[in-house]
Each structure stands twice: as C-alpha cells, then as structure tokens.
Structure 1
Amino acid sequence: VVKEVSPYGAVELTDLGASRTFKVTGQRLKLYEGGEIPTERISLSLTDN
C-alpha cells in the first residue's frame, strides 16, 4: 500500500502483512494489473576462462 509520496519522487510503501514500511524511487514502481505472476526461475552458472 502506498503510504506517502515525496516531492522528489520517493515512495513509501507499507507491507500490511508484515507491518513494515520501506522506501523506493518512483521509477522502480510498476503497475500491476492482475493476473498470474510468473514463478518460473532460471539458474545460470558462470565460469571464469
């Protein structure tokens, strides 16, 4: 839940399930329009040649 938006673009969010707040930049927020959230993960191993 959006708790506060500052004039310089920071957004304070509240996690109601965990009762905590955190700040992010407005550029990092994305609109969620519903539907399934992809849960597939890919693992890559990097080697140094």
Structure 2
Amino acid sequence: MKNCKQYFLKTFAFLLSFLAISSVNSACAVLFGQEKEPDSLARYKKC
C-alpha cells in the first residue's frame, strides 16, 4: 500500500510539473511571440 501511494504521488508531481512547464511555454509564445523560452526558465527543465 505504501509503494502504491508513493507511486501515485510521484506521478501526480510529474503531471503537475509537466503542466506548469507547458503552460509557461504556451504563455511565452502567446504573450511575447516567442517560440523559444527565455533562458531564465531553463532551470525548470530536467536534462
């Protein structure tokens, strides 16, 4: 049960981070007309 809960929480955290990154990228493209994100947002992406 503990492993299932941990798996669910990690999946949920990954989903939230993915949505945050994609929405920031979309906002940059819409508001600033940028296809490429600013360098200041690079710290949020995982290599």
TM range (shorter): under 0.3
Quick check: which one's strand share is greater? 1
Query: Structure 1 length normalisation: TM-score?
Result: 0.17
